[in-house]
Amino acid sequence: MKTIIAPVDFSPASYNASLYAAKMAQDIKADLLLLHVMELPVTVAEFPVTENVFDAISMEEELQKLQAKLRIETNNQISIHTKKILGTAEYEIKELSKIKRPFAVVMGTHSYSFIDRFFIGSTTVYSAKHLHSPVLVVPADITYKPIKKIALASDLKDIYEMPAPEIEMIVQQFNARLEIFYAGKNREDINQHTVESLLLDHRLQNLNPHFYFIEAEDIMLGITSLAKKHAIDLLMIVPKKHGPFHKSQSKDFIIYSDVPVMAIHKEDITEHV
C-alpha cells in the first residue's frame, strides 16, 4: 500500500497541507501518516517557551484531534496513522522517509506568521532539497482537487540525469496529462536539439507531453505565470547542481509558488509500498 507522510506542527499552513495530503490519499488510495516532531527552537531566547509547548501528552491529543478531523473529511475511507518523535524535524523526516519509502511527503508553506514561516519554511526547503522521496509543497491557500494537469519545469539540460521513471509513475498514478515547460533566459542558452533528443531517447515519450517554451529573465515568475495560464494542478521540479533549477534557486519555487510544487530527484524511489 502506498503511504503519504504529512509532517505537522498544528499551524494553519500545516493543517492545510495535512488536509491536502488526506484528500490526495483518498484519491489515489494511499495510507496517510501524520508525523509530529517535538523540538526546541534554535535560539530559545528568541521565542518564549512554556511548559505546554513541549508537553508530549498535549501533542498526542493534538495529533488525535487532527486524525479525527481528517477521518471526517475523508469519510473514513483512508487509513490514518500518527507518529510523535522527539528530535530534529529535518533529520526525523528524512529518516522516516528512508524507512517508509513514501509516495510523497506533503508539507505546507506560505504561512502568515513569522514563527510559522521560520520553522515550516526552513524544514520544507531542506526536505525538498535533500529527501530522496518526492516532496510536495502546498501553498496555504490551496485546497485539493484531483490532479489532472502536471507540468515539468526544466531547462532540459542533463536530460540523461532526469528521473524519467519517477515522473512517469507519478503522472500515471494521477492519470494526468503531462506538459513540459522548457525554460531559459534566452533561446541561445538552450540547445535546439534537446527536445528532439528527449523524444528520440524515448524518455517520457509514452506520456505524449506537450511542450511550451518560456523565455524570461526571472524563470520562476515565467513558469508560475504559465502554470496559471494553463490551469496546472501540480508543478514538478528537479533540483540540480547547476542552472536555473539549482538547489539554492529552487527555494523560490518551494516557498513562493502559488501552485503546489513537487520536488523530485534522480535518486527518488520508483517503487512504493
Distance, in Å, from the CA atom of 207 to the CA atom of 168, rounded to the nearest integer, reads 7
Q: What is the pLDDT of residues 182-208, one digit of tens each?
A: 876 666 655 555 665 555 455 677 888
Which of 60, 161, 150 is closest to 104 using CA atoms? Answer: 150
The structural architecture, per CATH, of the domain 149-263 is 3-Layer(aba) Sandwich (3.40)
3-state SS string over 29-80? CCEEEEEEEECCCCCHHHCCCCHHHHCHHHHHHHHHHHHHHHHHHCCCCCCE
User: pLDDT tens string for the chain (273 positions)?
Assistant: 899 999 998 888 899 999 999 999 999 999 999 999 987 555 544 445 444 445 666 888 999 999 999 999 999 999 999 999 888 888 899 999 999 999 999 998 754 443 343 344 578 877 877 788 999 999 888 999 999 999 998 876 766 777 888 999 999 999 999 998 887 666 665 555 566 555 545 567 788 888 888 777 777 788 888 898 999 999 998 876 545 555 555 566 776 788 999 998 765 544 444
| Residue-wise pLDDT tens digits, 90-116 | 889 999 999 999 999 999 875 444 334
Using CA atoms, how far residue 202 sits from 14, 159, 164, in Å, is: 39, 11, 10
Angstrom distance (rounded) from CA 224 to CA 138: 14
- Backbone torsions φ then ψ of 26, nearest 5 degrees: -65, -40
Start-end of CATH 3.40.50.620 domains in the chain: 3-139, 149-263
Residue 172 sits at φ, ψ, to 5 deg, of -70, -35
CA pair distance 156, 261, nearest whole angstrom: 18
Contact 191, 182 (CB under 8 A): no
CATH annotation of 3-139: 3.40.50.620
